[in-house]
Structure 1
Amino acid sequence: MCRLLIASNDSSEQNLLQQTIHDSFMNIKILPFASTQAEALMIAEKYVPEILLIAIDHLDVDGFLVKREIVQQFPNIKVIILTACTDFQSVHQALRCSVIDYLLTPIDSNELKFAIDRSVKSLNQVSLMDVLNNKPTVLAKEQINTILDYIHDHYNEEINLATLADIMHLNRHYTSRFFKETVGMNFIDYLTTYRIEKAKQLLMRTEESITEISGTVGYIDSTYFSKLFKKKVGQSPHQFRKLYQGAHTPADLRVVYH
C-alpha cells in the first residue's frame, strides 16, 4: 500500500484528486491533506509518504521549497508537480528537482493516472530489488500483504498473474518474481493451497456437496477439484470429510510480516 500526500490549499482540487485516485488505485492510501508548508512537513514526518502531489500554485509558500525540504528527508519519494505555469523557467526548475511528472491544471484525469502509475511502478521495482537483496522494506511488506489480501478476498474467482500485475501496476514478470521471492512459493501454488484449506474448512463444517464446495472455492470442474484435492491432501474430499467432519478447523493460510 503506497502512501500519497496531497499538498494543496484548494479544497476543490483536493477532492478531485482524491476521487480520481480512489476510483483508479486500490493500492494507494491518501494521507490527510496538507494546505501549508508546515502541515506538509508534519504529515510527511508522521506518515512517511512514498508519493507527493504538490500544487505549487496553491500554497502560501514556494512549492518547490516544500518539495526540496521533504525530499531531503525522504530521498526516495516520487514527486508530481501540479501547476498552471507553462513558462520554461518553471518547467526547468521542476526537472532540476527530479520530479517524476509535471502536470498542467486543470488536471486531466488520464494524465494524473499515468503519472501516479509511473510512480507506483518505480516504487515497486525498488521494492523488488530490496526483496531480492534480502532487505524487504516496509513498502514491500505492505505491498505483498495487499496482494495476499486480494487473493484471500477473491480466491473463489478467476485470478491470475495479470490480475495481480494490474493491482500492483507491475508487469507479469516483476509480479511473479516479487511474489515468489517474498512469499517463498509461486502464485499458483499459493492460490491452490489457500483454496484447498478453504475446502477443508467447508468439508469439516458443512453438509455442502463436493460439487458445491468445488464451486465455492473457485473450481468449476468438481472432478478436477477432487483429483487436485487428493494430490495435495493424500485423501479424496469424501475421505477427508468422513475422517475429520466436526473436528478442529485448520488455521487460514496467511503470510504476515512484522
Structure 2
Amino acid sequence: MMIDLNADLGEGSGSDEALLDLVSSANIACGWHAGGSNVMRDCVRLAISKGVAIGAHPSFQDPDNFGRKEMDLPADDIYAGILYQLGALSAIAQAEGGRVAHVKPHGALYNQAARDTSIADAVVAAVHDFDPSLAVFGLANSGFIETARRAGLAAIEEGFADRGYRANGSLVPRNEPGALIQSEDEMLEHVLSMVRDHRVRAVDGHWVPINVRTLCLHGDSAHAVAFAHRLRSTLTANGIAVRPASVLGA
C-alpha cells in the first residue's frame, strides 16, 4: 500500500526544510497569500535536493487574510490569477532544473472550488491550458475532482491529517469546534482510518466513505513537524509506503 504525503510550504512557518525531509510532495505558495520569489526559489531548491515533488499552491490575492477569506470573483479573474501564479513558480522550477508536477489550490479558493462548479471550471481550465500533464490535488469526493477528471487531468483525491470533517465530507470551518486536530494520537487514528479503511469519522460521529491518494499536513501548524515525524513512522510501521503522487497515478 502506498500514499503521498504533502505539506503546504513557503508560507513563513520556518518549518519548510524539516518538513521536506518527511513529505513526498510540496505545495509551494506562489506569492498571493504568502511567500514570494525568493521564498519560492528556496523551497524549489530544497525540494529538488531532497527528491520531493514540486507543486504550485495558488490562492486568491489576499495576503491580509492568508488566502482564507472567501471571495466572489469573475471566472476570468480566477483563471488569469491561476495562470499568473503557475507561470511564476514554473519559471523558478525550470531555472533550478526541476518542474512543477501538480497544482493544489489554497485556502478559500480550494474550498470554494470543491463546491462551486464555476470556480472549479476556472481553476481546471487554467491548469489544463497551462500544462495538461499537471496533476491537481483536491478534496476527496468533491465536485472539483469530478471537474478535473472530465477535463482529462490527473485528479488526486486529498485527505487532511490535521483537520476535522463534516458528515457531508467537507472540512469543518476553522472558526468552528473540531476544525483542527491537536492530538498526535487522534491524528494517527484519523489518518489510518482514511488510508486503511477508506473512511473518516465526522465530528458528529458519522462515518464518511473516502478514498484518499494524498494526505496533507499544514506547514503553518505549530505541530507540523512533530505530526509529520509520527505520521511518517506510523505509516511505515503499518506497511504503507510514502511516495509522490506521480508514482501512484490518478
> Which bin holds the TM-score, normalised by the shorter protein?
0.3 to 0.5
By percentage of residues, which structure has more helix?
1
Larger RCO, structure (CA 8 Å, separation 6 or more): 2
By percentage of residues, which structure has more strand?
2
Which has the higher Rg, Structure 1 or Structure 2?
Answer: 1
